[in-house]
């Protein structure tokens, strides 16, 4: 009788023990995967946020230049939306992107000043900003790939 109980309880206890180990292991693996997915999601959000911000900044810089070229009265108020976007860029971006954005803003301000050449080097400054932004976005995309 004792031997029969041992034959029943030993496999049952071993099965329950193995199940408990599997449950705990599954919990920690699932938890790690969720954490990894969360980090990946944050990096993706940062990437999309910067893409939108940089696109708005470029569009606003071009709009400002077109206002000045179309003969509209140059005024510093024309630059305010561009400066608002620059403020956002200064909070999020790398130094290279920030310097490119600063150069674009400087040209926009001078184009809206008195006796300024509105076409001074807008294209060159814009191109430098775009290259810096592309490099930063590529680095963020690399971070996304590293998380996988």
Q: State pTM to two decimals.
A: 0.72
Which residue from 131, 76, 70 is spatially nearest to 105, judged by alpha carbons?
76
Phi, psi of 3 (to 5 degrees): -70, -35
Would you give the end-to-end CA distance of the chain in angstroms? Answer: 56
In a domain, 92, yes or no: yes
In a domain, 29, yes or no: no
- The pLDDT value recorded for residue 40 is 82
Structural domain including 125 reads 45-147
In a domain, 62, yes or no: yes
| Residue 105 Cα distances to 89, 112, 122, 147, angstroms | 12, 11, 10, 35
Token pair recorded at residue 84:
């608002």
Q: Any alpha helices (H) in 70-121, and if so which ranges?
A: 80-92, 95-111
Q: Report the distance separating Cα 121 and Cα 65, nearest Å.
A: 11
In a domain, 136, yes or no: yes
pLDDT tens digits along 103-137: 999 988 888 876 666 557 888 999 999 999 999 99
Q: Report the distance separating Cα 62 and Cα 104, nearest Å.
A: 10
- The pLDDT value recorded for residue 7 is 74
Q: Is 139's pLDDT higher than 70?
A: yes
Number of domains in the chain: 1
In a domain, 126, yes or no: yes
- The pLDDT value recorded for residue 1 is 57
In a domain, 23, yes or no: no
Q: Is 55's pLDDT higher than 90?
A: yes
In a domain, 22, yes or no: no
**CB-based burial of residue 52 (10 Å sphere; 0-12 exposed, 13-18 middle, 19+ buried)?**
exposed
Q: Which residue has the tokens 């309880």?
A: 9
In a domain, 143, yes or no: yes
């Amino acid at each position: 009788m004792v031997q029969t109980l041992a034959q029943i309880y030993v496999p049952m206890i071993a099965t329950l023990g193995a199940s408990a180990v599997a449950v705990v292991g599954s919990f920690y693996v699932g938890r790690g995967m969720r954490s990894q997915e969360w980090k990946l999601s944050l990096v993706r959000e940062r990437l999309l946020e910067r893409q939108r911000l940089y696109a708005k900044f470029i569009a606003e810089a071009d709009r400002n230049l077109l206002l000045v070229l179309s003969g509209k009265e140059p005024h510093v108020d024309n630059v305010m939306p561009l400066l608002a976007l620059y403020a956002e860029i200064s909070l999020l971006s790398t130094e290279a992107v920030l310097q490119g954005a600063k150069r674009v803003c400087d040209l926009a301000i001078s184009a809206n000043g008195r006796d300024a050449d509105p076409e001074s080097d807008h294209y060159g400054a814009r191109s430098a900003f775009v290259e810096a932004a592309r490099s930063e976005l590529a680095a963020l995309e690399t971070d996304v790939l590293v998380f996988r």
